[in-house]
Structure 1
């Protein structure tokens, strides 16, 4: 894990995840899902988990730099949890409430690091 990112995991609902993804698209951040993808494929009532893992800088976009590259445990429409990445502005991440206990954060981190989850791209290939 890179220094400079918060050492926490936050839960977000699908509407908040779509808002963060739209913000990433609007700011020209690299890791996003593309307009409409999450609205179509994310579980509508699901909880998703964001874990900042590195500081990412864009020299050509100082207004959006630095930002945090987050690992994302994403629950898709079929209920499966998959791995993805999302770039998030620090202020947007900090505005998300802390709602998870330590045990849940540890479980989410373990899933993201050690469970060999399908990536968003792999899942999309299997579920056109």
Structure 2
């Protein structure tokens, strides 16, 4: 599993989420959720932290479970999870320097960000 953080635009994030839904991965946002709630011109950040093995779909096993720093339409940053196919993650460009990657990883691990569920409960 890669030890990195990658920045993605909203369109790419929606594509990755659609792929997660198509492949039957358990961590996705559901049809249309990101299109409705993600900030359209923001960068979002994916940080793989777990090799996930879903036995019911062996053709898509293993894949990476990623922590996601997601900027929503109101400008708030929230914590979420997204399962990503390794080949799809590998195709994402490396655009962040080491310090930026570390800063994002620290925020995801210790930033006490609201979760997607917490944010969604306050913003129906």
Q: Considering only aligned residues, what root-mean-square deviation do their CA atoms show, in Å?
A: 0.5
SS in 1 for 2:67: strand
Local SS of the residue matching 2:56: coil
Report the 3-state secondary structure (helix = DSSP H, G, I; strand = E; otherwise coil) of the residue aligned with 1:93: helix
Structure 2 alignment gaps of length 5 or more: none
Q: How far off its partner does 1:104 sit?
A: 0.5
1:127 aligned residue: 123
Query: Is 1:30 paired with 2:30?
Result: no
| Structure 1: gaps spanning 5 or more residues | none
| Structure-2 residue corresponding to 1:88 | 84
Equivalent residues, number = 124
Give the structure 2 partner of residue 108 of structure 1.
104
Question: Offset at 1:8?
Answer: 0.5
Mapping of 1:6-85 within 5 angstroms? Answer: 6-85=2-81
